[in-house]
Every structure is written in structure tokens, then in C-alpha cells.
Amino acid sequence: MRVVVVGATGNVGTGVLRRLAAARLAGDGRAGEADGLQVVGVARRLPDARVAPYDVAEWHRVDVGDPHAVDALTAVFRDVDAVVHLAWALQPTHDIPAQHRTNVTGTANVLEAVARAGVGQVVVASSVGTYRGVDVAGKRTPVDESWPATGIPTATYSVHKAANEAAMDDFEREHPDIVVTRLRPGLVFQRGVAAELRGLFLGHLVPMRIVRWIRWAVLPLPYPFVFQAVHADDLADAYWRAVDRRAAGAFNIAAAPVLTPPRVARAFGMLGAVRVPLRLVRGLVTLTWRLRLQPTDAGWVDIAAGVPVMRTDRARAELGWEPRHSAEEALRVLVDGFADGAHVAASGPLRG
């Protein structure tokens, strides 16, 4: 089996490479056939391929949003069994066309190259953020994969994910011979991504070790901030199972329990959480974003407040997937990474 991972140096991609390396070592599933599992990595910035898990792959440098990306990707995808597409740009939020170039145009280029190269399966990273938003009461009823994937219109991330879902719908109709798989995880955490997340969402003016200074504080969060999370290694296992089983369709991926403000405060080692108005938080985030004091726009507030809680029955039944880490454990290892300044030096994106 030959598998290409596009966007293989980021948060999820690094976890997927670890899982593929373990599968190859164990001879798991279809990877035990013929010549075993061969892994190809595609990234805009190449990692240090001498360092695990990046040493499991042969590497190609491709910018998926480039006008010539389809030709370059088609060449890489020749004689490939599956393509796992993870490439995504969370920044710059002040330049939506730049994000669209990677997120939407880049996904369209990957899908076109998959079709041209005759790849048997494409697995695309979607998100809980692709779902239509709900109010606070709606979060009490978990949704399955049939919930409308139309996004939250005030959040660029969500709009782009929804656009890709629509593109995959069209692709499935036009190429019924290709297995199309979508994984829709909650927030994805691991220790080594701490520096990257600080840079993406907090900016470099906020020191990573701030978590050591807030133990005696309370966490101010709006009541609707209720969401799900999963450890990167558990999500990576779901990707591997989807490829190994050639599973088609959408799969919600999240660990229990659902993260509420008190649980988030507990993960940060704080005294507790205090409810603050959503409008106040949104206004503060908008002001500081417009002043370029931090890089997160208010769309992320709308995502945190509006995404539904997902059911994960389908992934458990059809993929045999079970998370090894709880959502609280996944968040705690990230918090520990903040405290220690953790990053992955071999990966450009994860150096922060």
C-alpha cells in the first residue's frame, strides 16, 4: 500500500506519520500485503527527514494553492492507493484571500490531482466547524454526520470547511469510482503543538509559560463555550483506520467528556470558571484583532459558542475506533506543553 499525506508536517500530519510508522512496523492491515506500507509526505516547508516521525516518508515540496499545483500533485499521486489531505492555513486572518488560496483552492487542486492520477481513495480533513451552528440549548442534543455541513457564516474557517464539503459532494457525484472519506474532529491537541497554537491564536506577545502564573486565577469564559476535543494520536488512528478499511463517507471524531468552562479551567489548574457575556468577549477579541495585538478574529469566538456537540457512534461502529485519551487528558498535555515551551524542532510549522 502506498499512502500520500498532504500537509504532513502540521499538528495532525505529524500524528498521522507516527501512526503510519507504527502500522508499517507492525505490518497492520492491508499494509502487510506485498511490499508493505510506503509513505509519501507533501508539504510547503519540508521537515528534517532524519528525525522521527518524518523519517518514515519520502518527501515532496508542493504548495497546494499554487497555480501549477495540480500538475505537481498528479505526478506525486501516480500509483498511490490513498491520499490523506490535511493541508490548511489558519493564518493570516487579516488576509482571507491568502487563506482561501490554501484552504479552498488547495483542496480543489488536491481533488483534481486525485482524479487525474486515478487514486482509489481520498481522505480529507474536515471539522466540527463545518456544521451549521446551534444555540446553547442545541448543544444538549448531540448530532450525527447528517447534520447540515453548511458552516457558521461569520467564521472564515467554518466557511472554508463548508465550501470544501460542497466540493467533495460534487467530486463524489463526478467520480463514483473513488472512495471519498471526510473526518470531522473536534479540537485537536498534543504536547508538541503548544508553540504553534500560541503563535496561531495568541500571538508572540503572550508568553507560553503564562499557564504557570495563573494557577490562583479563575477562567472567564462565556457559558456557550462548550466543545469537544481529541488527542492528535487518537485522530491519527482514525485516519489510519479509514485508509486501511477504505471506509467511505463522513466520520465525527471526538473524545469524552464534552469540555465545559469548568473542565477547561480544571485542565489549566485554575480555581474555576466564571461566566462572562459572550458579547463582551467577542467585542474584546474584535478590538484587539483590529489593533493587531493578537491574531484571532471573532469568528473563532462564534465557532466556540456555536458548534454542535457530535455523536461518534459511526466511527466506533464502522472504523472500530476508540480514543485512548480523554478530552481532558488531551487538553492537559497541551497545557503542560505551554508550561514547558514544547515544540517540534524538526517541523517548520510546529516550531511556532
Q: What is the 3-state secondary structure (H, E, C) of 131-194?
A: CCCCCCHHHHCCECCCCCCCCCCCCHHHHHHHHHHHHHHHHHHHCCCCEEEEEEECEEECHHHH
The pLDDT of residue 336: 85
Give the span between the Cα atoms of 77 and 61, in whole angstroms.
Answer: 13
C-alpha cell at 75: 505526478
* Residues paired with 275 in a beta bridge: 221
Backbone angles phi, psi at 253, to 5 degrees: -130, 115
Closest CA to 236 of 42, 6, 18: 18
Asked if residue 129 lies in contact with residue 161, where contact means CB atoms within 8 angstroms, the answer is yes
Handedness of CA 24, 27, 30, 34 (dihedral sign): positive
H or E element in which residue 241 lies:
helix 232-244
What average pLDDT values come out for the chain (352 residues) when binned by 10 residues?
Answer: 96 95 79 70 95 95 97 98 97 95 98 98 98 95 98 98 98 98 96 68 60 71 94 97 98 97 89 93 95 93 97 98 97 84 55 51
Burial class (CB in 10 A: 0-12, 13-18, 19+), 311: middle
Helix (H, G, I), strand (E, B) or coil at 38: strand
Q: Amino acid letter at 25?
A: L
Domain annotation for the chain: domains and CATH numbers? 2-188+229-254+311-319 (3.40.50.720)
pLDDT value of residue 321 = 98
Residue with cell 503542560: 336
**Is the entire prediction scored with pTM above 0.95?**
no
pLDDT of 131: 98
CA 5 to chain centre: 13
Cα dist from 39 to 49, 55, 124, 247, 352, whole Å: 12, 10, 17, 19, 25
Q: Which helix (H) or strand (E) holds 61?
A: strand 57-61
Please list, in sequence order, all residues whose beta carbon lies within 8 angstroms of the beta carbon of residue 63, skipping any fewer than 6 positions away: 44, 69, 102
